[in-house]
Amino acid sequence: MKSLFVEEKYKMHVKEIERPVPEKGKAIVKIHMSGVCGTDVHSYSGNNANTVYPLVIGHEAVGTIIQIEEENEQGLKAGDRVVMEPYIGCGKCYACIQGRYNACIDLKTRGIHFDGMMTEEISHPVEKIYKIPEQITDRQACMIEPFTIGIQATRRVRLKKGEYGVIIGAGAIGLVCAMVVKAYGGIPILLDPVEGRLEKAREMGFQYTFNNMKGDLETYLAEITSGTMPSIIYECSGAKPILENIHNLISVCGRIILIGWPHVPYSHIDTSHITRKELDVIGSRCSCNCFPEAIELIKSSQVDADIFISHMIEMKEAAEVFEDMIADPGKYMKVIIKCQQ
């Protein structure tokens, strides 16, 4: 069967690999399509230190179960249309025992640590598979995993109705976070240096957008919040200049949620600002038990999954498109790869 395979940095091609065989506790799923995450692009370009080469990439897929044990706790059966959670914890470490498997000391993520979902079929743990309702299309289903990232961060930061949430980075994950903030009753403010991304944010109906390379950001935030500054920041960019100045963009007693992986060289943060303002600085990694909520948000139209999808491509086009995504990021939002040739 055909799979999108990354041999090493900048070396990606469609490769024939063996079909999965039945295993106890796992189901075989025929993959319809899979979304391209920024992580996939970073794995291709060699900028994801966690990627274990060589491997099949992808972790945002939708498919149909073609083989599964008849008795399973999820009540799944052959023919069910499903999405698959890509995060696999060890089940034994402190994080896993606390139910926070996304922070497992030996976390394994499909498409990063072992073969992913940009392939025709996979074998996946049944406990990590979720049936999706008929109201959700395959295209929309490819956005379920990205929405779990915004849900996880919003749960972690304890957003309350009416709070301003600054989202730094208006790429796909930043926009997902903004949409989740809105669904929770918050007021999102999107920042990005790429004007094309801000235009997309405005098309999505977000009122507050700002190019942080073209104006006085602190003054802008102060004006919107009547001088108090926003109480929450979602940091989705990993950008060194932002991280080193982030304490000036938030109110006293504010909460900063770190989602984006930091750029190299790493930031040097003066922690006296955190102490003086008594800020909460919180990490958010992947997601944990968020798939059911993401499915419900899309099903109930509290979030718009379709508006993210900018391109549909074949596996054979992936290398060329990935190169263009690196060269012209403002041109792309969510790329979907069709896995059945």
Indicate which CATH number applies to the domain containing 203. 3.40.50.720
Q: What whole-number distance in Å separates Cα of residue 336 and Cα of residue 341? A: 14
Do residue 233 and residue 172 come from a single domain?
yes
SS3 content of the chain, % helix, strand, coil (to 5): 30, 25, 45
Do residue 158 and residue 64 come from a single domain?
no
What b-and-e string marks burial along 194-210, b requiring 16 or more CB atoms within 10 Å of the CB? beebbebbeebebebbb
CB-based contact 58:40 (threshold 8 Å): yes
- Within-domain flag for 103: yes
Supply the pLDDT for residue 73: 84
Do residue 251 and residue 319 come from a single domain?
no
| Average pLDDT of the segment spanning 3-13 | 96
| Predicted confidence band of residue 8 (pLDDT cuts 50, 70, 90) | very high
Supply the pLDDT for residue 151: 98
pLDDT tens-digit series, residues 16-40: 999 999 899 999 999 999 999 989 9
pLDDT tens-digit series, residues 283-316: 999 999 999 999 999 999 999 999 999 999 999 9
- Within-domain flag for 293: no
- Within-domain flag for 14: yes
Furthest C-alpha separation in the chain: 61
> Domain range holding 183?
147-283
Do residue 91 and residue 186 come from a single domain?
no
Percentage above 90 pLDDT, the chain: 87
| Predicted confidence band of residue 264 (pLDDT cuts 50, 70, 90) | confident
Q: What whole-number distance in Å separates Cα of residue 131 and Cα of residue 76? A: 7
Do residue 7 and residue 136 come from a single domain?
yes
Q: What is the DSSP letter of 93?
A: S
Do residue 55 and residue 106 come from a single domain?
yes
CB-based contact 105:293 (threshold 8 Å): no
The distance of Cα 277 from the centroid of its chain, to the nearest Å, equals 30
Cis peptide before 329 (omega within 30 of 0): no
| Average pLDDT of the segment spanning 232-247 | 93
- Within-domain flag for 38: yes
Helix (H) or strand (E) holding 155: helix 144-157
Do residue 22 and residue 106 come from a single domain?
yes
Q: Residue 341: pLDDT above 80?
A: no
Do residue 188 and residue 240 come from a single domain?
yes
User: Is the alpha carbon torsion for 79, 83, 89, 94 positive or negative?
Assistant: negative
Q: What whole-number distance in Å separates Cα of residue 298 and Cα of residue 281? A: 29
pLDDT tens-digit series, residues 175-189: 999 999 999 999 999
- Within-domain flag for 289: no
Q: What are phi and psi of 159, to 5 degrees?
A: -65, 135
209: tokens are 């957008």
| Predicted confidence band of residue 329 (pLDDT cuts 50, 70, 90) | confident
Supply the pLDDT for residue 331: 84
Tell me the CATH number at 103. 3.90.180.10
pLDDT tens-digit series, residues 120-177: 999 999 999 999 999 999 999 999 999 999 999 999 999 999 999 999 999 889 999 9
| Predicted confidence band of residue 257 (pLDDT cuts 50, 70, 90) | very high
Domain count, the chain: 2
Q: Which of 142, 137, 123, 187 is nearest to 160 (CA)?
A: 187
Do residue 44 and residue 21 come from a single domain?
yes
Q: Residue 330: pLDDT above 80?
A: no
| Average pLDDT of the segment spanning 320-330 | 92
End-to-end CA separation in angstroms for the chain: 10
Do residue 74 and residue 18 come from a single domain?
yes
Supply the pLDDT for residue 47: 85
pTM for this entry:
0.94
- Within-domain flag for 151: yes
Do residue 126 and residue 187 come from a single domain?
no
Q: Residue 15: pLDDT above 80?
A: yes
Q: What whole-number distance in Å separates Cα of residue 136 and Cα of residue 124? A: 21
pLDDT tens-digit series, residues 184-207: 999 999 999 988 889 999 999 999
